[in-house]
């Protein structure tokens, strides 16, 4: 979700001649503590997610999220992680990076404190990257696709890995396990998370409450339609997204915020995600949304079912702790079944 706002910013920049502020854990009207050497070649067809393929004993071959085939002659030793969404996951499966990009509000993994920081995700330093002598750079499609030719000139492969769902997380974890030489460990961790998710979904009641996932950013407010970890979690809990009935805006994954339209669709729950501080999110809600008389007509407002979701579980990639995101949301949506 977070990258959608950078996409909007980038689009505006292009149109006029021309992202990523995530908050630390946010809470809402209901407090969070109370709520529950190598080379790369282009593939001929795009792949929607990471697709590891069979290789020889020493060779690692896979397709990234853009369908580009990456061929590594051996396990990489000097990885640079430019995509902040995958850093925690990379370390969860035993990986180690020599360099990484940063983003406002997203903490650097504790195990990565010694890694060299090469700039913010949307403005990395190629000089700093190349000074690290990387044998693999892992980026994100929106911000780093333009680095491909520069890196290729130095025979440094670039893999673009995007995370929009738990399926993406699993595929990335499998890949990272192979890159780190911990394939069996990563497979075991994936299996454990799968089991925890199943234990949650097996308890779902025969209900399908409606919800809206509202994102607050300094550059505006929108309602998420798809393409986000938070939406994937809601889908797995069989919640019904009222934004499916709203027309997309500049980005197909979100709709412009309209209180009048929300009043018509009248969701049972309103979930807020803030890219910024908790204080900022609450003030924005108060001044830009709750001040409208139509706000009080919403069912969720009348029943006090308004929640700000913690960013570490719903904005940034929770990695193999996705079951915690699912459990948190389940306790809010189905309080009788999940206590």
Low-confidence winner among 18-27, 160-169, 256-265, 279-288 (lowest mean pLDDT): 18-27
Residue 327 has pLDDT above 70, yes or no: yes
Alpha carbon distances (Å) from 124 to 84, 91, 158, 190, 281:
12, 21, 14, 31, 28
Residue 116: pLDDT over 90: yes
Tokens of 205: 């009641």
**Which has more confidence, 18 or 80?**
80
Q: What is the mean pLDDT of residues 183-205?
A: 96
Please calculate the CA angle 167-189-111 and round it to the nearest 5 degrees.
100
Sorted by where each begins, the domain ranges of the chain are: 38-73+76-180, 204-333
The pLDDT value given to residue 51: 53
Of the listed ranges 272-276, 281-285, 286-290, the least confidently predicted one is 272-276
From the list 114, 115, 113, 167, the residue with the least C-alpha distance to 138 is 115
Residue 290 has what pLDDT? Answer: 93
Res 52: pLDDT:
54
The answer on pLDDT for 249 being more than 80 is yes
Strand partners, 79: 97, 136
CA distance 213 to 252: 15
Phi, psi of 57 (to 5 degrees): -60, -40
Q: Do the two domains 38-73+76-180 and 204-333 of this chain adopt the same fold?
A: yes
Q: State pLDDT tens for residues 293-305.
A: 999 999 999 999 9
Q: How far apart are CA 154 and CA 150, in angstroms?
A: 7
Predicted local confidence at residue 28, as pLDDT = 42
Q: Quote the pLDDT of residue 316.
A: 79
Compare 84 and 24 and report the one with higher pLDDT. Answer: 84
**Which CATH architecture describes the domain 38-73+76-180?**
3-Layer(aba) Sandwich (3.40)
Instruction: Give me the mean pLDDT over the 203-218 stretch.
Output: 94
The predicted-structure confidence for 120-133, as pLDDT tens digits, reads as follows 998 999 999 999 99
**Are the CB atoms for 72 and 38 separated by under 8 Å?**
yes
Which CATH number is associated with domain 204-333?
A: 3.40.50.1980
For residues 30 and 310, the answer to whether their CB atoms sit within 8 Å is no
Q: What would the mean pLDDT of 236-252 be, rounded to a whole number?
A: 95
What's the CA gap between 235 and 106, in Å, rounded?
25
State pLDDT tens for residues 199-210: 999 999 999 999
């Amino acid at each position: 979700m977070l990258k959608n706002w950078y996409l909007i910013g980038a689009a505006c920049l292009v149109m006029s001649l021309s992202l990523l502020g995530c908050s630390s854990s946010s809470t809402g009207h209901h407090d969070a503590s109370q709520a529950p050497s190598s080379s790369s070649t282009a593939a001929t067809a795009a792949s929607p997610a990471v697709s590891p393929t069979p290789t020889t004993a020493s060779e690692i071959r896979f397709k990234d999220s853009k369908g580009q085939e990456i061929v590594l002659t051996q396990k990489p030793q000097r990885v640079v992680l430019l995509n902040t969404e995958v850093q925690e996951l990379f370390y969860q499966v035993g990986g180690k990076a020599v360099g990484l990009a940063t983003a406002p509000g997203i903490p650097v993994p504790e195990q990565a404190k010694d890694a060299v920081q090469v700039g913010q995700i949307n403005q990395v330093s190629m000089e700093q990257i190349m000074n690290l002598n990387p044998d693999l750079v892992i980026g994100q499609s929106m911000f780093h696709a333009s680095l491909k030719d520069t890196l290729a000139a130095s025979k440094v492969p670039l893999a673009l890995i995007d995370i929009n769902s738990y399926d993406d997380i699993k595929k990335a974890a499998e890949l990272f396990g192979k890159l780190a030489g911990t394939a069996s460990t990563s497979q075991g961790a994936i299996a454990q998370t799968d089991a925890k998710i199943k234990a949650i979904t097996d308890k779902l009641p025969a209900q399908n409450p409606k919800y809206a996932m509202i994102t607050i950013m300094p550059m505006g407010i929108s309602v998420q339609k798809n393409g986000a970890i938070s939406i994937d979690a809601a889908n797995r809990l069989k919640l019904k997204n009222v934004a499916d009935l709203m027309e997309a805006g500049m980005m197909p994954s979100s709709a412009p915020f309209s209180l009048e339209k929300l009043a018509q669709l009248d969701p049972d729950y309103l979930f807020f995600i803030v890219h910024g501080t908790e204080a900022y999110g609450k003030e924005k809600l108060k001044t830009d949304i709750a001040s409208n008389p139509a706000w009080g007509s919403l069912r969720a407002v009348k029943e006090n079912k308004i929640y700000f979701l913690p960013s570490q579980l719903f904005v940034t990639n929770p990695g193999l702790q996705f079951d915690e995101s699912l459990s948190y949301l389940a306790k809010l949506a189905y309080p009788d079944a999940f206590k």
